[in-house]
Amino acid sequence: MNNMQGAFVQGAKAYGRFLEVFIDGHWWVVGDYLENVGKCTKRLGANAYPHLYGGSSTAGGYRGSSPALSGHATPTKEIRKRFES
């Protein structure tokens, strides 16, 4: 008998390994969650308050926010004429 450790010691070792993996896995998941929350919060903050993140505070700062200011989707004819044809 080379291994003189009893069932209690073997069980404690197994439980310790299980607990280590369990806690490590949960820290990994919680860390990823907090990282994603931080990125999302920063993105939302940059959209809501662009002047705090180095962007412009005018309406043209958002791409497509206003066709007249951004230059996208410019109308080709008057709106009334679209419905009269």
Whole-number pLDDT of residue 5 = 72
Number of structural domains, the chain? 1
* Residue 35 lies in domain: 11-52
pLDDT tens sequence across 10-60: 889 999 999 988 888 888 899 999 999 999 988 888 888 888 777 665 544
pLDDT at 84 over 70: yes
Asked if residue 40 belongs to a domain, the reply is yes
Is residue 66 a part of any domain in this protein?
Answer: no
Examine residue 47 and state whether it is found in any structural domain, yes or no: yes
Asked whether residue 62 is domain-assigned, the answer is no
Residue 42 in any domain: the answer is: yes
Residue 78 has a pLDDT of 75
Q: Is residue 41 part of a domain?
A: yes
Full DSSP string of 27-76 = HHHHHHHHHHHHHHHHHHHHHH-GGGGTS--SGGGSTTS-HHHH--S--S
